[in-house]
Homo-oligomer: A and B are copies of this chain.
Amino acid sequence: MVLKSFVEVDIDSHFPLENLPYGIFIIKSSEQQQQLPHPCVAIGEFVFDLSVISSVGLFNGPFLKDSDCFHQSSLNKFVGMGRPAWKEARTTIQKLLSVDEPTLRDNAILREKSLLPMSKVQMLLPTIIGDYTDFFSSMYHARNCGIMFRGPENAINPNWFHLPIAYHGRASSIVVSGTDIIRPRGQSHPAGNSPPYFGPSRKLDFELEMAAVVGPGNELGKPVDVNEAADHIFGLVLMNDWSARDIQAWEYVPLGPFLGKSFGTTISPWIVTLDALEPFSCDAPKQEPQPLPYLAEKNSKNYDISLEVRIKSAGQEQESVLTKSNFKHLYWTITQQVAHHTINGCNLRPGDLLGTGTISGPEPDSLGCLLELTWNGKNSLNLNGLPRTFLEDGDEVVLTGVCKVISMFSYDFFFLLLPLFSSI
């Protein structure tokens, strides 16, 4: 059954009543006097201001009635409240926006105050991100990188099939979609015994990822059980983990990626909740060898989310599709990631970000970064007739994620706006 809202929602919209992703917006300053950032959900071409709805007392269930969570300038407080509060919010919002419910539908003043055209607002980062972790959970990506850098015999390290490998990323340089990324400078190393050289990265890459937004955290010293881990995940964002492959290759032994990644990471302004994604859940791949008991799930779940990366070069009119992948290709699940991350007692906090790592699939046209697609620059791609290996100044990279209901109708779920490149 399709839910129907009194707000007009185009059949191709990413934001039907079944989605309701959360974000933080501010009214564009030219439109109206400066205003504080407010939590919202997206519906059709509008943002629905939850602070307005909260102020007039329409969140009247037990968890939200007396809460100021929608009067914050980030979603941290709300995501930290946990699944009962999220369910209450979703039910309340779906009812208020439904075509059969008169409360808002028939109140023009409240509608005008709470439903703002997206063209009049600017989206900000949805949460304050205390820590950002990036996993390495696609077997295809791990294998391809391994073959390129260590040869086919040692393509995947022995630890990879036993634990979800990850590293700590840089939280300060996470930006919201639409923010320009400046080409990083740094050291690279040509080959052999030559000295390193310095300059702008010549191997700038995107990485097609998604990331889980942590809901309630855990106390230091108290691991999260893998079968309860879903209650610690509020939802997913799209993520582009921009990577400078030349800087990364020279610096990463033995402590892992650092400046090759920390110049910028882009996430979507919208967090799609696990509740909204539930109809699109699917079985995770069979894991062989069997994981240790702390990673063994009663119910091992992935999500069927079609992912696509497009690029538009400066001066070109047309976008080119670079890759088509799917979230379901991930070997390690997001719940296993949470269980592993906390098994040593490490504490997660509301709003923390857990990236999946590059989501590559098994096919040559489902690889999640240029490193893989061009085999480290050896093979050019064809961008509307022009050869291409890595990113160039002025490129716009667009990531989209789409869930389609298998039924008479289809709808898209969410998207990432255009992050731009500009030169330094």
| Contacts from A to B (Cβ < 8 Å) | 130-131, 136, 157-159, 162-163, 165-173, 175, 182, 184-187, 189, 195-196, 198, 217, 220-221, 223, 244, 247, 250-260, 262-264, 289, 292-294, 340-341, 343-349, 352, 424
Contact = CB atoms under 8 A, between A and B. Distances in A.
Contact of A292 (B196, B244, B347): B196
Contacts of A346: 170, 172-173, 259, 262-263
A348 to B, nearest CB: 7
B344 A259 contact: yes
A150 to B, nearest CB: 9
A280 to B, nearest CB: 29
Contact of A293 (B130, B157, B169, B198): B198
Nearest to A171: B131
A255 to B, nearest CB: 4
A264 B159 contact: no
Q: When A and B form their complex, which 8 residue pairs have the shortest distance between CB atoms, in order from nearest?
A: A256-B256, A184-B344, A182-B221, A167-B255, A168-B168, A259-B344, A255-B256, A262-B346
Nearest to A352: B172
A257 B255 contact: yes
Contacts of A292: 187, 196, 198
A357 B99 CA distance: 60
A347 B184 CA distance: 12
Contacts of A165: 251, 254-255, 258
Contacts of A184: 343-345
Given A157-B254, A198-B293, A346-B263, A187 B162 contact: yes
Contact of A347 (B172, B251, B343, B424): B172
Nearest to A348: B172
Given A131-B172, A349-B172, A424-B221, A289 B195 contact: yes
Contact of A264 (B162, B259, B345): B345
Contacts of A345: 173, 182, 184-185, 263-264, 424
Nearest to A183: B345
Given A173-B347, A352-B172, A252 B254 contact: yes
B166 A258 contact: yes
A1 B412 CA distance: 74
Contacts of A159: 189, 196, 250-251, 253
Contacts of A130: 130, 171-172
Contact of A257 (B256, B294, B349): B256
Contacts of A187: 162-163, 292
**Residue with the greatest number of chain B CB neighbours at <10 A, chosen from A166, A168, A250:** A168
Contacts of A198: 292-294
Given A258-B167, A262-B168, A185 B343 contact: yes
**Residue with the greatest number of chain B CB neighbours at <10 A, chosen from A168, A264, A344:** A344
Contact of A344 (B244, B253, B340): B244
A167 B294 contact: no
Contacts of A182: 220-221, 345
**Residue with the greatest number of chain B CB neighbours at <10 A, chosen from A187, A252, A293:** A187
Contacts of A170: 131, 168, 346
B251 A163 contact: yes
Contacts of A255: 136, 165-167, 252, 256-257
Contacts of A168: 167-170, 258, 262
Contacts of A352: 172
Contacts of A251: 159, 163, 165
A344 B196 contact: no
